[in-house]
Structure 1
Amino acid sequence: MYWSVDEVDATPYFSKTMSRNRFQIIWKFLHYNDNANLDVNDKMYKVRPVLDYIVEKFKQMYQPDKNICIDEGMMLWRGRLSFRVYNPQKPVKYGIKSYILCDSATGYCFNMRPYFGEGSSLPDTMFSLLDRLSGHGYTLYMDNFYNSVALCERLLEAQTNVCGTLRKNRGEPQVIRDLVKTDLGIGDKVVRHNDKVMVVAWQDKRLVKMVTTCHQDGMQKVDVWQKGHKDKVAQFKPECVVAYKSHMNGVDKLDQNISYYPFIRRSLNWSKKFVAYLFQMCMFNAYILYRARNPGGCNTLLKFICSVVKSWTLKVHERKGSELGEQVEEEEGAGVEDGDLEDVKHTLRAPYNTDPESRLDGDLGRHKLCYLKPTSKKLRPTKRCRVCIRRGTRRETKMMCKVCCVPLHAGQCYIDYHTTVRYSVSVQG
């Protein structure tokens, strides 16, 4: 099987954008905050400016639909870190945990809050994630880690509905708290409610306990797969269970999509990996925004990422091209005849350290020296002599070969360059 490779994925594209040494130097000294003013009370200090800026942009650029969900996201980190957590229920069991609020329909990350061992309560965490969405009639879906009857009542007072699973001893009535699997038959349920919150215990393959402030005590018919049946089988489930299964997967959509094309690479510095993790969220959120405004545009996240990379690197290539054009304009009128202009442009498009094949053609009469043309910045411009720089000496000249388009000193440098294969070795020494 054969498939086409995008230009962005090809190795030569990297060197056209940035050299390896430059990338390694930038990556080595990359910091996101000033360590001289380190705040020992803020464990996210090293990434705080980037984190705050990105999260604020998340909230500004998108208005979620009526159904939202809160769940935990994990970034893999197995090194030593004071706020590293272990969660056996996640595919990534060791790492940096974040509380994430997403749009249930698209998976757009509206808000996030990394966990670094702070002592804030769950209600405070919920309201900080809701931010400006609180008080606007949203329906929030959460699992049993967050839910409680008291929290549901508090959120309902803030005009935010809640639906989710419920743990034991989270404020449920005594009759539901004491239920076990053998007390109910398959499909049976027990419901208790007050004026604000309804708690449901429903027997499926196991006993499921739900809490909701926005659903009725009714059953809904759904088609499900069952063992021993080729086709889906109709089954009745409580309305809150069906809604929870449909709208609780927003964070899972986010985790799934950013895992397909990860930016994160191995590093001994947790801050670099965490910022790369944030960039992955940025790219997915940007894709959601793009699809909302351009339905007929990039139909996959991969195509969108490639288009973004091309647009970013195109600016680098255009800048290099504009500098090259200025260099060509400088050489025009500096003794270069019209017939040789195309050769000049072709030579200048080659890498700086590449010598033209015509330099050893043996026709010294054709390789004439000319003065560099004045530019807007320099009346008498100079450039480093190619022969001198190869021999470890930084000397500049006002002359250049009009055929090779290479700065050269008149005399021995000119002769060595056009007659010697290894002109970097001095013939005098």
Structure 2
Amino acid sequence: MRVAVVGAGPAGVYAADILTKSDVDAQIDLFEKLPAPYGLVRYGVAPDHPRIKGIVGALQKVLDRPSVRFFGNVEYGVDIKLDDLRQFYDAVIFSTGASSDRALDVPGIDLPGSYGAADFVSWYDGHPDVPRTWPLEAKSVAVLGVGNVALDVARILAKTADELLVTEIPQNVYEGLASSPVTDVHVFGRRGPAQAKFTPLELRELDHSPNVEVIVHAEGIEFDEASMHAIRTNKQVEMIVKTLQEWAIRDVGTRPRRLHLHFLEAPVEVLGSSSVTGLRTETQELTGDGNVRGTGAFTDWDVQAVYRAVGYLSTHLADLPFDHVSGTIPHQAGRVLDLDEVPMPGVYTTGWIKRGPIGLIGHTKGDALETITSLLEDAAALPRATSPSPGSVVEFLEQRGVPFVTNEGWSRLDAHEIASGAAHGRERVKVVSREEMTSISNG
């Protein structure tokens, strides 16, 4: 069986892993629009998260299998289309993830100085397709949302550049953060502490910096019946609430930068005319079921930048149906459904573009298992590739002049980054430029 996987992040690699371990003799080609694999593990996880990035080792073992090939720097819909893939493969799995920012509909959200968290994350993670500079000019910053991405953004904004110099951040990111005048970062959650979406580990890591004072504002530490039920029945929620309560009553220290956590404050307007000059929030109250309603009490916060971290959003892929409300590909157990809700023969999906940007990286394993199970059930009826030779797709890309990156090319780039880091006592230093990445990869 010849299978193409479009998207070489965790979801795509997990799908390849499960398929190679099945009873079916399968050859799998992973196509990735970036010159490097791993998706959001490389370009969406904060650089000071070495434990989470440890998953790279497991993903690389899958790429090292003889039945798996990597084709980096190949963009679906531009360099290769669905009809092309169907020539070379019996099945195609789409696992392109979610990397755009979900919109937030409040007045002033489009003012200069108001940013999407995903764009900022791409900058500090050295994504090749974003600008090399970032306008870090605000002394006081607001971050909207209380998920893990919001805490990542707040932590990177609050930390000093020298603290991050031991990580893999590129030089341009270090220089940008070093110039930041920030003193205060305010994180706002619309609901209460028991409804926060971050993990206990992510929360505790906020307090590890010797330069950042974490301040929990006690007026938002409230609980209703649903909150108490969540605390009693969910160990993770209990740990989060306990930590927040302890921080809310402790004395404020003297670290030079401050990271504030505010709960039950909903953003209603970004203030300013030509740029961000403040944020207006409305205090909320819990309604008993874990939801909230406005109290009519408003507060204006003196901030000069706003980062919204209210969720990721997938983008529409050429020649595939798309639900623009949920930001997902319509499917049935991973089988892509056409406009008439009929499965498209040999076309599947997995990961965030299948189920939405919910859950941690590990949750994509169950997602991939469902999709591969469907594919294997359909194996006998799959439309066969008309040009199944493994060399056919290589010849196709070469004829189109696509400077694709192979497994060997990625190994060269990986070794180059590790060597660059070793020269400075660091694990690696990322190469940022797409041209430089492909040049190193292709020797």
TM-score scaled by structure 1? 0.21
TM-score scaled by structure 2? 0.21
Greater Rg over alpha carbons, structure: 1
- Bigger relative contact order (CA 8 A; separation at least 6): 2
